[in-house]
């Protein structure tokens, strides 16, 4: 639809507005934050632009460049707000004139500078004044445009907890006067693990959406990949940065094969590996090579696992023993029930379903996995391989009741009905 289209009364335009905003919100917030120097306020102004679009687009049609339209509206409101603040009137008026009358500034001459609003947004949201949980939740909200529900699923915690974390995080950043900028030197190194974690979680939400009608959200994966590549260019001596980039490249290579023609999930064993993106695989393997020979950190270990899958021409050729060993090293380095669950799958493939089931059964009392649908899903798969069909069906049905993604629910329901 364009500006010349007729008035929209069907609600389609409202859906378009929400879709565009979901894609563009991080860039809008980042652009506004550069003006107002407050990420919480920037998010509120971006929401105002969304409201303006919901009011105007159904009447005038969707603009040719909807993202630019939203950004322009948000910037204009940010500038107006800044101008109203008496103590900052002169400086903000200068910023306003600069934004309105001059083209974007050229790339910085200093290669250590990060001329990327999105990356500034990540580093600002990952400031040390915030807890690790608050940093991740805030960045996923601001950069990934995720809802509190989606973030709660990513954290395996409640929506109320996530909502409180986000509100308190924004207040704390504002109260501490945290500048909207990327850090340098030791401060940058100290914040890097948190940034890598956030980028990884954003990718994961795109790779396997916690809710909604689509299994994947490629835009989130692309944002995470782009940030990982930028970080890799800025910090070439950090093995874990290369490890994260390698992991994301290798994981992203499988996206074209993860869904069928109707958007239904395709399990790893059934994927057409000819559809795997070879260029991304080569990029991932090269990034892993740049990470060096170790000792590996958590992202390099996960990238090494992904590389095992990428090197297998056929599913049957997968080196499960090596993958299980790598998961063992990962579990020792970063103990986590989710890592243990993945290790159980690898062990089941290397040593048989009984060995895997023993590991999974040991996780059934984990509070963090109580509402995690992949626990009963994996258990159901192992029980099915052992011929315990009735128990397997019950586990798949339980997984259906916990899954929030419609595509995953359909897949699990189909598996339960076939037993």
What domains can you pick out in the chain, each with its CATH number?
A: 10-92 (1.10.1740), 189-293 (no CATH)
| pLDDT tens digits for range 365-391 | 999 899 999 999 999 999 999 999 999
CA distances from 5 to 2, 17, 55, 56, 60 (A): 5, 15, 16, 13, 7
3-state DSSP: the chain helix, strand, coil percent, rounded to 5?
Answer: 70, 0, 25
| pLDDT tens digits for range 15-26 | 777 777 777 888
408 or 220, which is more confident? Answer: 408
Q: What does the pLDDT read at residue 85?
A: 67
Enter the DSSP assignment of 212. Answer: B
Other Cβ atoms less than 10 A from the Cβ of 380: the count is: 25
Q: What does the pLDDT read at residue 381?
A: 96
Burial class (CB in 10 A: 0-12, 13-18, 19+), 105: exposed
Phi, psi of 259 (to 5 degrees): -130, 150
**Separation between Cα atoms, residue 53 and residue 48, nearest integer Å:** 9
Q: How does the average pLDDT of the chain come out, rounded?
A: 85
Question: What is the model's pTM?
Answer: 0.72
Task: List the structure tokens of 399.
Answer: 């997984």
Q: What does the pLDDT read at residue 89?
A: 55
Tell me if residue 254 falls in helix, strand or coil: coil
| Stretch among 90-94, 252-256, 413-417 having the lowest mean pLDDT | 90-94
**CB within 8 A of 204, min separation 6: which ones?**
154
**Separation between Cα atoms, residue 56 and residue 84, nearest integer Å:** 25
Task: List the structure tokens of 4.
Answer: 């010349």
Q: What does the pLDDT read at residue 95?
A: 59
| Stretch among 190-199, 211-220, 307-316, 377-386 having the lowest mean pLDDT | 211-220
Q: What does the pLDDT read at residue 186?
A: 82
Q: What does the pLDDT read at residue 102?
A: 53
Could you tell me where the DSSP H helices lie in 5-147?
A: 12-36, 39-60, 66-84, 89-101, 117-125, 132-142
Q: What does the pLDDT read at residue 294?
A: 78
């Amino acid at each position: 639809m364009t500006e010349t289209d007729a008035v929209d009364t069907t609600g389609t335009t409202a859906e378009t507005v929400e879709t565009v905003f979901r894609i563009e919100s991080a860039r809008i917030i980042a652009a506004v934050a550069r003006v107002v120097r407050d990420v919480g306020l920037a998010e509120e102004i971006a929401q105002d632009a969304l409201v303006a679009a919901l009011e105007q687009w159904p009447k005038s049609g969707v603009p040719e460049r909807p993202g630019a339209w939203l950004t322009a509206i948000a910037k204009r409101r940010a500038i107006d707000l800044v101008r109203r603040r008496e103590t900052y009137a002169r400086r903000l008026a200068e910023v306003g004139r600069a934004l309105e009358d001059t083209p974007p500034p050229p790339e910085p001459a200093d290669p250590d500078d990060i001329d990327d609003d999105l990356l500034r947004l990540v580093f600002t949201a990952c400031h040390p004044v915030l807890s690790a949980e608050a940093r991740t939740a805030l960045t996923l909200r601001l950069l990934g445009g995720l809802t509190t529900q989606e973030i709660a699923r990513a954290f395996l915690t409640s929506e109320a907890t996530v909502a409180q974390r986000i509100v308190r995080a924004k207040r704390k950043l504002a109260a501490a006067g945290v500048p909207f900028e990327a850090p340098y030197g030791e401060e940058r190194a100290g914040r890097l693990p948190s940034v890598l974690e956030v980028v990884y979680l954003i990718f994961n939400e795109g790779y396997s959406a916690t809710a909604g009608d689509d299994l994947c959200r490629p835009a989130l994966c692309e944002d995470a990949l782009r940030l990982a590549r930028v970080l890799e260019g800025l910090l070439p001596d950090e093995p874990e940065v290369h490890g994260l980039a390698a992991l994301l490249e290798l994981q992203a290579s499988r996206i074209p094969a993860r869904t069928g023609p109707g958007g239904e999930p395709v399990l790893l064993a059934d994927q057409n590996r000819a559809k795997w993106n070879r260029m991304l695989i080569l990029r991932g393997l090269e990034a892993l090579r740049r990470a060096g020979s170790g000792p590996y950190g958590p992202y390099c270990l996960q990238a090494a696992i992904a590389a095992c899958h990428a090197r297998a021409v056929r599913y049957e050729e997968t080196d499960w023993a090596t993958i299980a060993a790598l998961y063992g090293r990962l579990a020792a380095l970063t103990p986590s029930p989710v890592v243990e669950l993945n290790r159980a799958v690898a062990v089941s493939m290397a040593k048989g379903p009984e060995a895997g089931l023993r590991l999974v059964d040991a996780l059934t009392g984990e509070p963090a996995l109580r509402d995690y649908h992949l626990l009963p899903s994996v258990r159901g798969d192992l029980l099915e391989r052992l011929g315990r069909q009735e128990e397997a069906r019950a586990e798949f049905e339980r997984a259906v009741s916990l899954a929030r993604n419609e595509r995953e629910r359909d897949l699990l329901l189909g598996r339960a009905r076939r037993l």
